[in-house]
Structure 1
Amino acid sequence: MTENGVSWRHATGVGGVVLVLSYVALKLGSTRGNTLPHNSWFALIAIVLLTVAVLAGGWEVRAYLRGQSTRPPSPQKARRALVAAQACVLAGAALAGWFAGYALVEAGRLEASSAFSGMVQAIVLFVASVGAVAVGLVVQAWCRIPDDKDDDDKPQGGGSVRA
């Protein structure tokens, strides 16, 4: 993580690693005769609800920083919104990698009757996970405190401090 928080590069890295690992594990398991784990539409509901919760948590911070609200959010609430946004980015990236790996394995076995519906479900869940990453990055940007221009103009006293 950088000073600016979690970036799209972090999300891409996490998603890529999980994609490769899940593809290899699922492909090995399916070639050995094991069935693939079943995805659930409940996962889509959970991803969407958690994404909406992160969005709502960051909205109060956004409103205050843009001058649309006169009531400042508590520091704890702002910190929770930021941490939730960063967790949303990383978890969404990991889920996107898993669902992409699952869809790729299902695409390779489309001759099976259940493979097409499993692949479509994995693609929908992948898109929802990428949406969670995007929302997390946006909310993280909302929680960034703008630089205070007044502090740059004041002379700093005391000289430099060396360890």
Structure 2
Amino acid sequence: MRYLTVLSLVVVALVAAVVGWSINQALTGQSQSMLILPWGSLLAEAAAAAVLVYLGLRLRAYRDPEGERRRRRRAPADRKPYDPVWGVGTAAAAQAVAYYGALTAGWHAGIGVDQVMLLGARTTQESLWLCVAQVVAGALLMVVGWVVENWCKLPPDDPDAEKDTPYGGRQDPYTAGEGGYARHQ
């Protein structure tokens, strides 16, 4: 799994904006309805972001040494450590939320451009405000996904190692014992 990059999120948003604007132009010419997400989708997006932040904070508390000390003081002695599968799942969910945010923001920005051009011709601007709300929500989802994915990164095995390695400072993508079945030794 690759880490998120700002460039990849921007490219996804730009492509979605161009495709959204193009499809909206084609559908508007045929008197079809616009493809804008309804107001209720903002609640679902907020719920997804809240769950992702909750999972990210739990993971960060287990990963962070300061969080480890706080957790030991209030946690029972028989509490199991954080499951690494949950960490990978949280990182994957963070990436999915970030890319969804880029798609949503780009798509609605493309449609919003068309709506801005129709400001003088329409009496109601609800679709424009809905596009603005979806662009803002998409941008927030990108930020939430980016931040939570950074919380899921493991600290480097060697603090003096290069930070620009493909594995975030680690020289080997696998820690000892990890991936032993998939690799030939």
Taking structure 1 as the reference length, what is the TM-score of the superposition? 0.83
Contact 1:29 1:36 in 2 (8 A): yes
Equivalent in the alignment of 2:122: 112
Correspondent of 1:48 among 41, 46, 61: 46
Contact 2:36 2:131 in 1 (8 A): no
The count of aligned residue pairs is 149
Correspondent of 1:15 among 13, 16, 35: 13
In the alignment, the residues of structure 2 paired with residue 60 and residue 11 of structure 1 have an alpha-carbon distance, to the nearest angstrom, of 25
Change (3 A) 1:113 1:150: closer
- The 10-residue stretch of structure 1 (37-46 or 21-30) with the greater mean CA deviation from structure 2: 37-46
Equivalent in the alignment of 2:84: 75
Equivalent in the alignment of 1:39: 37
Instruction: Give, as a single letter, the amino acid of the residue that structure 1 aligns with 2:30.
Output: R
Larger relative helix fraction = 1
What's the CA shift for 1:80? 0.8
Contact 2:36 2:108 in 1 (8 A): no
Instruction: Kindly provide the CA deviation profile for residues 47-102 of structure 1, in whole angstroms up to 9, marking residues without a partner as x.
Output: 11111111111111111222213463101111111000011111110111111112
Cα RMSD after superposing both structures: 2.0
Q: State the identity as a percent.
A: 24
Q: Does 1:127 align with 2:136?
A: yes
User: Unpaired segments of 5 or more residues in structure 2?
Assistant: 73-79, 162-185
Instruction: Give, as a single letter, the amino acid of the residue that structure 2 aligns with 1:10.
Output: S
Contact 1:39 1:118 in 2 (8 A): no
In the alignment, the residues of structure 2 paired with residue 55 and residue 150 of structure 1 have an alpha-carbon distance, to the nearest angstrom, of 27
